[in-house]
Amino acid sequence: MQLHPIGTLHTPWRSVADCPRNGRQPNPAPLCTAVVLPEFVEGLRSVETFSHLILLYAMDQVTSPELVFTPPFDDTPRGIFATRSPRRPNPIGLSVVALEGIKDDTLMVRYLDCIDGTPLLDIKPYLKTTDCEPDSSMGWLRRRA
Amino acid sequence: MQLHPIGTLHTPWRSVADCPRNGRQPNPAPLCTAVVLPEFVEGLRSVETFSHLILLYAMDQVTSPELVFTPPFDDTPRGIFATRSPRRPNPIGLSVVALEGIKDDTLMVRYLDCIDGTPLLDIKPYLKTTDCEPDSSMGWLRRRA
C-alpha cells in the first residue's frame, strides 16, 4: 500500500528531540496547523461541525524500527506495540486533537506532538461512541501516568 | 511512504457489504483475532498489560476515493474527512478495540468492523490520557447518534 500526503502539519518543534512526550504535555498546548493540499480541500466539508479529530501522519524522520526497547523512565524492555514510540514497522503517527477553527485549507488544532513539516495522511472525525474508553487501563504505563 | 502488513485481521464479515456500520453496532460484539507475522511477534511484549488497543489496517478492498458524498440516512453532502467512510485518499482504517487475550502471535479482540483478511498495519496501546475525549461533540452525526 502506497500512501500519499494530503497536506502538511505545522508545529513549533523543529527536530524529534524538541518534540514533547505527547501532545497534552505542554501547558498551555500551542496552536498548530494542518494545511490541506488544494485537491483535497473539498473533503473538509462538515469537518467544522466536530470538536475533536483524529489525525494520521507519516513519521518520516524515523530511521529503522526497534521491536523491543527499554523506554525512558522505565526499567523493563517493552515491545514497540506496547508503546507509542515512532520507531514502528509502519511509522504512522496518530493524534487526537481539539479543533479550534478552519479557514479555507487550514485547520487550527491543539495537542499535536510531531515535528514541523510532518506529512498529513488522514483526517477522521473523533466519535466518542466508538473512540472513547474512559475505563481503559494504562497498562505498564500506569505507574508513570 | 510504503506500508507493509505486520499481520492479518480475522472477522466474521466476508465482504464490505456484510460489515457492520461500526464495531460497536453488533450486540454482542463477536470475538475477532489479529494474527501477527512471526518477525513482529517480539514487538507484542507488554501489550497484554493494556485493556484497549488502537488497530490500524489497510482497507485494501476500497476502490477510488470519494471526496464528497451523501452518507446513508443523511440528506447533506459531507466531505470524506467528516466521515469514517473507507473511500479515503489514504484508506487506513482505525478501530479502538477491547483486548480479550493474547496467545503467542494471536490477539483476541472485540469491536472490529472490517472484512476478514484485512492487512494489519499497526498496534498501539490506547491511552486514556491522550486518546479519550468524553466531552467531544458528535458533529453532524449528532442527530443520528
From A65-74, B21-30, B117-126, B127-136, the region with the lowest mean pLDDT:
B21-30
Distances (CA, A) of A30 to A12, A33, A110: 8, 10, 6
Print the SS3 string covering chain B: CECCCCEEEECCCCCHHHCCCCCCCCCCCCEEEEEECHHHHHHHCCHHHCCEEEEEEECCCCCCCCCEECCCCCCCCEEHHHCCCCCCCCCEEEEEEEEEEEECCEEEEECCCCCCCEEEEEEEECCHHHHCCCCCCCHHHHHHC
User: What's at A131, amino acid-wise?
Assistant: D
Give the residue ranges of chain A where pLDDT is below 70: 144-145
Contact between B129 and B65 (Cβ < 8 Å) = no
- The answer to whether B10 faces chain A, any CB pair under 8 Å, is no
Give the pLDDT of residue B25.
87
Contact at CB, A24 and B129, closer than 8 angstroms: yes
pLDDT reading at B145 higher than 60: no
Predicted model pTM: 0.95
Contact at CB, A94 and B139, closer than 8 angstroms: no
Give the pLDDT of residue A137.
96
Its ipTM equals 0.95
- Look at A19 and B91; give whichever has higher pLDDT: B91
**Closest Cβ opposite residue A1 in set B46, B50, B60:** B60
Interface of B with A in 69-128 (CB under 8 A): 76-84, 88-92, 94-96, 98, 111, 119, 121-128
